[in-house]
Amino acid sequence: MVIEVRRDVFRLAQVFTISRGSRTEAQVLTVTVTRGGLTGRGECVPYARYGETLDSVEAEIASLPQDVTRAALQGLLPAGAARNAVDCALWDLEAKAAGRRVWDLAGLPAPGPEITAYTLSLATPETMMAQAAKNAFRPLLKVKLGTPDDMPRLEAVRAGAPASTIIVDANEGWTPEVYADLAPHLKRLGVAMVEQPLPAGEDEALLDMARPVPVCADESCHDRTSLPGLAGKYDIANIKLDKTGGLTEALLLRDAALAAGYGIFVGCMVGSSLAMAPAVLLAQGAAFTDLDGPLLLAEDREEPLLFDAQGVHPPSAALWG
């Protein structure tokens, strides 16, 4: 078996801004594993928040034995982007070798479309109202916040999209005081969920705070080892393949989180349809799904995922799995 890594860049349709900064392109790593004339593919997005760079993730992948199995991989690399791309590529290869779809190999029901959020970038209230109005036909909008001055932004989005369900992502940007002040207004404005209001590692304040809307752990939830630390603070676990280190751990985390009483939110980094494809399997029946990465791009993979009024559809075999 041969493992290869390539750097790919996808232009964004517009500048994408969160509380940590802005970007105009998605820089991803594409992993291919080839054996017996068949090739499997996976994609990851190295994330600086977790100490990852393109170089560091490439080095992790290069450290693997060329004959690595998916089972062995779980102990050779930590949860993160590198393991994700290789794990998903191995799933793809296994499916091609078996002549079956990944969901059959994993013992999962055949997937269907899932409604996905569409993310509104952090901007001025006027700009965010315009973004919301332009996308008011979408049933679910995710609003990037995370500053001390977010109330006018949230009011503007609700005015622009009065009928859409809104979820809010603070990206660790609030203090306990800011969140406590905003929380009643989230309820008033019909927000269905707030994601990671406080920094991971500094979220103990949530233990003593009322949760008028469900609170979701993102940066505080990576893999199954994260679950004990969520107790009493969060209601929902955000599962992302680049955090779990691939579909293998993500499916285990989903089962463990559900067993522990958490709701499931399946999220993504800003990547192409190849990165989202395995997550569509994971998102089946989730409380919320945010797999809009391809919708934010100006260009995508060949054989991209289909997005329509029913949501994001499972991948074709030509794309993945």
Would strands 2-18 and 118-120 be described as parallel, antiparallel, or unpaired? unpaired
Q: Of the listed 144, 187, 233, 243, which one is catalytic?
A: 144
Residue 125: both structure tokens together = 């209230």
Burial of 200 (C-beta count, 10 Å sphere; 0-12/13-18/19+): middle
Query: Is there a catalytic annotation at residue 96?
Result: no
Picking from 140, 103, 145, 142, the residue whose alpha carbon sits closest to that of residue 120 is: 142
Residue-by-residue DSSP string for 140-160: EEEEE--STT-HHHHHHHHHH
Bridge-based pairing state of the strands 307-308 and 288-289: unpaired
H and E: helices and strands count for the chain:
10, 13
Catalytic residue of the set 96, 142, 233, 240: 240
| Burial label, 181 (beta-carbon count in 10 A; 0-12, 13-18, 19+) | middle
- Sheet containing strand 118-120, edge to edge, reads 118-120, 140-144, 165-169, 191-195, 215-217, 236-239, 263-266, 288-289
In the DSSP assignment, the letter for residue 117 is -
243 in catalytic set: no
Residues 165 and 284: their CA atoms lie apart, in Å, by 19
Mutual angle of helices 81-98 and 247-259, in 10-degree steps: 100
For the annotated catalytic residues, the residue numbers are: 144, 240
